[in-house]
Structure 1
Amino acid sequence: MKRFIVVFALLAGLLMILAGCMSETKEATVSEANTQPEAVTKTVATAVPEGIPVLMYHKIGPDEDNDAVIREDLFRAQMKLLHDKGFNPITMEQLNEYVRHGTAVPVKPVVLTFDDGYADTYSIVYPVLKEYGFAATVYVNPGDVGTRLTWEQIKEMKDGGVTIASHGYDHVRMNELSNSDQLANIVKAQLALKEKLDIDNQWFCYPYGRENEYSQKAAADNGILLAVTMNPGWVHKGDNPYALHRIWIGNAVDLAHFEERITTEDYADL
């Protein structure tokens, strides 16, 4: 009997020790949990700017004598400048809300647009956009897909967050077409983007920047909310959404002139 009491006492003591350890562990776990740093969410201030620069790029490559082209090193330097100076590339949706309703956008806004769907848009531009997390819009001619970009590459960019939009079915001057041909061209491009990418496209870029009153009407009647030209200047709230201005960027625009173009509307005409 005495031996049984001793064994029972030992077991009871052991259970008390274990219970104390478990309590300390639980308290330590709770304490550690309470001291874990909270996740920090980066917030970007917003405002309604006086104007927004919409940048217009074409081909990225080594042809220094062609101002429709920009060297890769200069393009990369421009994107780095945007990042380092705190500029915020915004989407077409954000630009549309600003133009039509004066909606606030992230401070220091800029819009990046790339015309024609060159192969380097996928091989050079797209990786840089991903590196910096920049929003951008690529205007493609569905009738020319396969000669520069493939539908697979375009879809990959779309799935990666790049906005794919219409540059007309093929690269023709809208203002030189009849009204019926303009309408057919715009509609054909819309249908191709829907078929190939499942896009209900809302954004348009006039080839060569050429348009007229009917071009704007045909775009508006077929689901387009914003259309851009090649007319120089910034975009403002209340502007005609079917004739938005853009800022040409090519080899002649060195880094100093680039910064001027994104910080002041009264930039030098090179």
Structure 2
Amino acid sequence: MYHKISSNTYRDYLTVTKEDLEEQFLFLSQQGYTPLLLSDLVKHVRSGNPLPRKPVLITFDDGYRDNYTTMYPVLKKYGLKANIFLVPAFLEQGETPQDNYLQLSDLHSMDPNLIEYGLHSYDHKSYKQLTLEEIEQDINKCRQYLQERKIAYQDCLAYPYGAFPKRHPVKRRQFLNTLSGNGIILAFRIGNRLNALPLRRSLVIQRLDIRGDEPFELFKRKLQKGKKLMPF
């Protein structure tokens, strides 16, 4: 799970430098990882067919413009694929020159064989704070916005802030039923653990948080072991 990619040396917890991204993407390529698109994982869940050897799903949240200007060329260089979870309210801001979010023309310019799009709420409100009816309305608003602008997307959702009702069994069941009842096939949290295959918990898929303020050795350790053997 990535967010921003800087074209200079700036880094923070949400921002990975282009240089570090190149090192990480080269590692994935050299170690024989097979990059997946969201549609590949959807087919796996629906059909039960096995995934290819060493599958990895590379995701970017929020739809920052550097995903197109900086990340996309690096992705093509190393022959990988990635998925961007979009926030329509941020895309609207992206149409102003001073803003940092993707523009609609960027979305249409990227090769659909290399980049797919998923949902990340309409305006980045935490689903843990919304009612079930508000969540349903939010999903529908996301779809309507993308459909009207002819942006192809997968019925896959990344929870804003990774937040959903984790600890209350009844609320959690109602929440997940609302997602599946509204056609969401895959949904992603954070969690920082590896997902066992075949993938069975398709609405609480965990992702590794790739931070710009962490060393390359920690990136490798997360990728290979997940949270259970991380030193914190």
TM-score normalised by length of structure 2: 0.84
Alignment deviations for residues 206-251 of structure 1 (CA, whole Å, 9 cap, x no partner): 1101123344333222222101011221122243211111101012
Question: Which consecutive residues of structure 2, in runs of 5 or more, have no partner in the other structure?
Answer: 94-100, 166-171
Match of 2:230 in 1: 268
Write the letter of the residue equivalent to 1:58. Answer: H
Q: Which has the larger radius of gyration?
A: 1
Q: Is the 8 A contact 1:158 1:164 kept in 2?
A: no
Q: Is the 8 A contact 1:142 1:189 kept in 2?
A: yes
1:173–1:250 CA distance, 2 compared to 1 (3 A): same
1:162 and 2:115 correspond? yes
Q: Is the 8 A contact 2:128 2:163 kept in 1?
A: yes
- CA distance in 1 between partners of 2:31 and 2:149 (Å): 37
TM-score normalised by length of structure 1: 0.73
Q: Is the 8 A contact 2:37 2:115 kept in 1?
A: no
State the number of aligned residues: 214
Q: What is the CA distance between 1:269 and its match in structure 2? A: 4.5
- CA distance in 2 between partners of 1:126 and 1:225 (Å): 26
Q: What is the CA distance between 1:200 and its match in structure 2? A: 5.6
Match of 1:59 in 2: 4
SS in 2 for 1:107: coil
Within a 5 Å distance, the mapping from 1:1-270 to structure 2 comes to 56-61=1-6, 62-64=9-11, 66-99=12-45, 102-147=48-93, 148-157=101-110, 159=112, 161-199=114-152, 201-212=154-165, 213=172, 214-236=174-196, 237-265=198-226, 266-269=228-231
- CA distance in 1 between partners of 2:48 and 2:231 (Å): 28
Q: Which has the higher helix share?
A: 1
Write the letter of the residue equivalent to 1:201. Answer: Q
Q: Is the 8 A contact 1:204 1:219 kept in 2?
A: no
SS in 1 for 2:191: strand
Write the letter of the residue equivalent to 1:224. Answer: I
SS in 2 for 1:73: helix
- CA distance in 1 between partners of 2:194 and 2:29 (Å): 20
- CA distance in 1 between partners of 2:188 and 2:120 (Å): 10
SS in 2 for 1:228: strand
Write the letter of the residue equivalent to 1:108. Answer: K
Write the letter of the residue equivalent to 1:134. Answer: L
Alignment deviations for residues 11-56 of structure 1 (CA, whole Å, 9 cap, x no partner): xxxxxxxxxxxxxxxxxxxxxxxxxxxxxxxxxxxxxxxxxxxxx0
1:219–1:197 CA distance, 2 compared to 1 (3 A): farther
- CA distance in 2 between partners of 1:260 and 1:95 (Å): 24
- CA distance in 2 between partners of 1:98 and 1:194 (Å): 25
Alignment deviations for residues 92-116 of structure 1 (CA, whole Å, 9 cap, x no partner): 2332344565422221211100000
Aligned-pair identity (%) = 27
